[in-house]
Structures are given as C-alpha cells and as structure tokens.
Chains A and B, each alone.
Chain A
C-alpha cells in the first residue's frame, strides 16, 4: 500500500530537528551517532553494522513519527504486526550479509566424456487427391532417429549429427549424415570449418538468390521439418573476420546438387511428354561428379553498417537443380553457372527490410540460342517483416526472375516446349502467430505468382506438448492454372502431413 505524502519535506525537517537536539544534548563528538530509524546512506559504501536491535527492525518497532508528521490515513502499526505490503528482505540483503562476499560453492560437475542429444521423429503424409502419375498416395512415412554430439579442445572442435531413417514410402533404410565437421581457429581472425555441413547465407525467406548451397525440395514439399529444406554440403568453409570487410569462402571439391524433384515421389512436368509424369518417368541425370575438376566455390564479403548488413556474393559452379537437357542419351544436366550478387538488410521503420540482387551467368549458353540450356538470368528480391499485433509477425517478399536473351530463347524454343514468360514475378507472405506462452505456433507461408497464375501454400501448426514432445501438422497446397508453370506442375501433389518428435 503506497502512502502519498510530503515525506521529503517531512524528513528534511525531522533531520534538522534531530541535528539540533543531537548537538545540544551530546557534548562529545568522538563517535558518529547511530543511524536514525528511516534513514540510510545513499551511497553503497560499506555500512557500519546497525546496533543490535536495529538490525532488520520490522516496521512495528519504528518509532512513531513526531506529531505533525503523522499521515492521517495510516494508523501506527501495533507492535508485532508487519506491514503486509512491505516485502521481506530476501536472503543476501540483510546488512550483515552484504559485508561478506558470497563464496559461491560451485559443485564441480562431473561432465560425461561426450554428450549425446537428438530426437526420434515419426511422420506421415498423404496426397489429398489422387495423382494418375503416382501409384502411391502416401507422400511421407518415416521414422527418423537423429543423434548428435560434439567434442571440443583448445582451438578445435568436432561436431557430428546423423539421421537413421526408415522410409516406408521409398521402402528403404538410409543413413543421412547431416553434419560431420571440424572447426579450427588457427588465429583469432580465422575460422576454418572442414567437412559435411549445412551452409546458408543471403537474405531471402524460402527464396534464394545468392544462396547456392544445396536445397532439399523433396523434404520441403512432403512435410518434413523446415530444417530439412537445406541439404548438407561437403565443403571447406573459411572465414577471415575483421573490422573492415569479413570474407567467407566455401569450397566444395565435388559438386553438390539440390535434392531435386525426380518424379519418384512427386510428379513434375515433362516437356517431352507434354504433361506431368511421375514414378514411371523419373528424371535421370548426368551430373558433374569428378573430384576437384567438378568443384564449386562460393564467396561472400560482408560488413555491418551500424546494425545493417551489406554483403557481396560470388559463385562459380553449376546450376543446382537440373538447368538443361542433353539428348543422347536423354538426361537432365547441370550446366556451368557463375553468379554475382549483393544484398543489404537492416532495420526499416518498425520492421526489418532487405534487398538482394543476383546475376546468373549461364556460361554454356551466353547467347541464349542453345534451346536445351537455361539462359542467363537477373534476379531481385525485396523483403519486409514486422510485428503487426501482439505475437503476430508478418513478412512480405517480392521476387523477380528476369530472363536474359529472351528473344533468342523464343527463336530457338523447340515446338514441344511451352514458352516461359520473360519475367516471373513471385510474391510471398509469411504469418506467424504465437499462443499459449509460445507453445502453440500457427504459421502460414505462401508463394503466389501473378505472372504464372500459380501458388504454393504452406499452412502449419506446431504444438509443444512438453519440453520434449512436439506435434507438427500442416499442408503443402499447390495451385495453378496450367501444368507447365513452376508451382502449377505440382498441383496433383497437394498433401497434408503430421509428425511427432521426441527430443533429448
């Protein structure tokens, strides 16, 4: 209960009065007078111990204020009754405690030689309509056990994460090593990370311009946890960090492609067949797979400007998903690619804004006249995210793919292929709402292409039943006017899924 009164004036008067009384009544000033009740030094200098009887004196023993200083509304507390509104001093604040340094007795924890963490995840998903090109309706059915551990020494540490999967849709068991990497800091300014690792940079949300590291589209479309959108690379990542411009290089001795759609689980549009095809016509690839000769290298230069980040990117390698065809034998191929780009991200108004641009130089078809090789492209991404209500965040992006040498492309387009637009526009929206102490997450991510007239919607619900058990459910909805556009081709693959994860 707070008492609103003119206590500052009252205290000052009381002080003056007391001083006069003390001066007049105490002839010798060889020792300091005892602290009056209600006064304490404003500085945090070590306080002389309060005389016995004044230590932690409850308000009940406080001498009543002199006449004239009494607040009319509050009667003097009877002895023995503590004011219920005044908090009791916590242990550690009693004046005698403050003089002694607390020796925090840290029980030396007996650490195990290595710690093991991970999860067991069981998940299933099915198409909501039948796909004539697929014999199975199930798009997902698996039991996954992930184990992860790490060990560190002075300048070096090693991390290992592997998934053991039993996949009922593919009818096989698989070991997927997600991470097996050594991190070495030879000098303060250098970090070198060698081995199998997931690599990500760039400013896009589920859209990638300068992130030319492998993606896993099969996992993304089938309802595996969002973390499986990125596939691991086998690479050496080195970073030189300084105040002027940080430099990061990721070199893969052998090309790592995307885990792209092959028709095995999801049907896709085949220009040769003129329709969507599936497991009977799986994509066969001719992939660059020589060590060192078919390598790829990615570069990023970045620095902070205030709290914003400016970055420049470069890549030399191959198109990550099939970017061309060869006829004899008929295979999908990954033509050579160089990419250059830049990005800027930072606080904008009450949210975060970003802009990213990239130029894809399709080296094997610079002129655009090779019908079976992707043309070069210019790509732009604009993004903005902010909180629009309590625990509700909205993110919007605009993405453009602009084909270079469009005239040459149209001139040389084979008769059986449907022409793409020169400009493919995509808008994305992400809405995330947190409920129940952030244990229930409602999320929605949607891609809409006004130029392709198609869309891909990803609604999802995540519920953390406890600290160790999480339930996830959602859908992958593909809509499109035609079967030839990027998302429209997957319209028979619309599916729903659910998963349960036990973490440890």
Chain B
C-alpha cells in the first residue's frame, strides 16, 4: 500500500511537471480559426453601424465616390441570420435610396430597394451574391459574408503573425475563382489579406489597411479590394463605427425604408 502511494505521488509529480502551462496550449484547429475569423469579420456585437466612404478607381485612374451608412443586426446566436440596412448619402442621384438585405445561410438572401422619388419599395431578385455591390469591386458576398459551409478549409501555414488558410469551393461551378487564401491575424482573427486565384494566378486581393479597436472590438477601418484583371480598385473607409447601440428589429422593414430612421443615420 505504501509503495502504491509513493508510485502514485511520483506519477502525480511527473504529470504536474509535464503538464502544459499557460501559453503552451494546442494550436487551434482550422474550424476554430475560420469560425473565429467569420465572427470577427461579420458578426461582432449584437448590432452595429458604420458610415462608409467607398472610392472606386477605374483603369484610367478616375475615381467615383459612394457614401452610405450601414446598419447591421445579428438575428440569431449562431452567426448566421443577419439584417442589413444601407442608406445612401452620396452621390446625389442615389441620395436617400435604401437597400435592405435579410441575409440567410443555406438559401438566397432577400433584398429590397427603395427609390425615394417614386416612393417605390421593390423586392429585387438576388440569386447571385457574386455581383458587384453598387458598381464597386466588392461583391454582395464580400459585404454580407460567405458561408463557411461553401468551402473546404485548410491551414497551410502558421507564421509569426498569421494563420494562412486556403479555401477551396465545394461547388466550383458557382464561383469564378479556384481557391482563395486568407492571412488571418493570430491575435484578433482579422483577415488581413485575402487573395483569390484562378489557374494559379492571383487576380483579386482584399487587404485590411487599418485596424482600430472600438468598444473592445478590433475593427477594420480601412480596406481595399483590387481586381488585378480589370485594373480597378475600391477602397472602403469606415467612420463613426459603433457596436451594440440597440437597433430594434423593426428598423429592417418597409416602414423604415420609406421613412429613414434619422437617429441612426446622422
């Protein structure tokens, strides 16, 4: 019995000495990384608003600007359903137009458009998420998020600062790329750079240019999307970013498309 206790104690001592301490945890799995990244990129806080200035530069170097306020509300706890309300401020011909999306995972989003001069609310067909958002190099899918289930994910490299994840579409016919690679910052899970490639050549890149911490949430406040084939670039500047301001669910309805909720849009 005494021998048994000694051996047990020794075993315990060795176990304690061998136990990983503090930082020396196991590296996160691919699923953990991409779930956290998705959360950080699209689902932080219960709701949020941002004033966005979008500068679109074409092949000749001419620029066009779009300015809008985007309101977002998470509609469930699973990082899936979201509602978006986009109110355009600039240029003058789109002023006061409203674009609203109810984002779904697993089925097509629902989209509506409000034209103030005609007082028309129209539901618009929205099957293709990879079409340009208001003429920029960003797609609807870039603005509202791509479902994690659409691709297989692979951690190809871990460097000092980044997890490098390669994503390959499960249904290649639905997209125009062969794969896309993300450099994800290890501490904040912000995707710092995303590169889309086709035929081994990178043709489209998204970069986070500036990050601020707002209300405790690391937030990309400037990002840029380059289409290397077309030679166009779109830069997004996010100002007046706020989280958890208590946007009610009913804002994302026809009523407030016709009557803009000014308290959230100033």
Residues of A within 8 A of B (CB): 2-5, 7-8, 11-12, 15, 18-20, 23, 29, 32-33, 35-42, 44, 47, 56-59, 62, 83, 86-87, 89-93, 95, 97-98, 100-102, 104, 106, 117-119, 152, 157, 178, 183, 191, 193, 197-201, 205, 226-227, 229-230, 239, 241, 246, 302, 304, 307, 309, 345-347, 350-352, 385-387, 390-391, 393, 434, 437-439, 464, 466-468, 470, 501, 503-504
Contacts and interface: CB of A to CB of B under 8 A. Distances in A.
Please classify how large the interface on chain B is, using the bins under 10, 10 to 19, 20 to 34, 35 or more.
35 or more
B58 to A, nearest CB: 7
Nearest to A62: B160
Contacts of A438: 132, 134-135
A307 B102 contact: yes
B20 A19 contact: yes
B118 A90 contact: no
Given A35-B23, A438-B135, A197 B125 contact: no
Given A15-B20, A83-B159, 15 more contacts: A3-B156, A35-B23, A36-B24, A38-B160, A42-B33, A98-B188, A101-B213, A102-B214, A106-B239, A200-B119, A246-B254, A385-B124, A391-B131, A470-B93, A503-B92
Nearest to B205: A87
B25 A42 contact: yes
Contacts of B247: none
A302 B82 CA distance: 23
Contact of B95 (A41, A117, A226, A309): A117
B187 A200 contact: no
Nearest to A35: B23
B27 A42 contact: yes
B255 A89 contact: no
Nearest to B58: A437
A385 B125 contact: yes
B63 to A, nearest CB: 9
Q: Is the interface of B mostly helix, strand, loop or mixed?
A: mixed
24 contacts: A15-B20, A15-B26, A42-B27, A58-B160, A59-B160, A86-B162, A87-B193, A90-B222, A93-B185, A93-B218, A152-B262, A198-B119, A227-B117, A230-B118, A241-B253, A246-B255, A307-B123, A352-B124, A386-B125, A387-B131, A437-B136, A467-B92, A468-B91, A501-B93
Contact of B157 (A2, A32, A41): A2
B192 A467 contact: no
Contact of B120 (A38, A106, A200): A200
Contacts of B212: 92, 102, 104
A227 B102 CA distance: 27
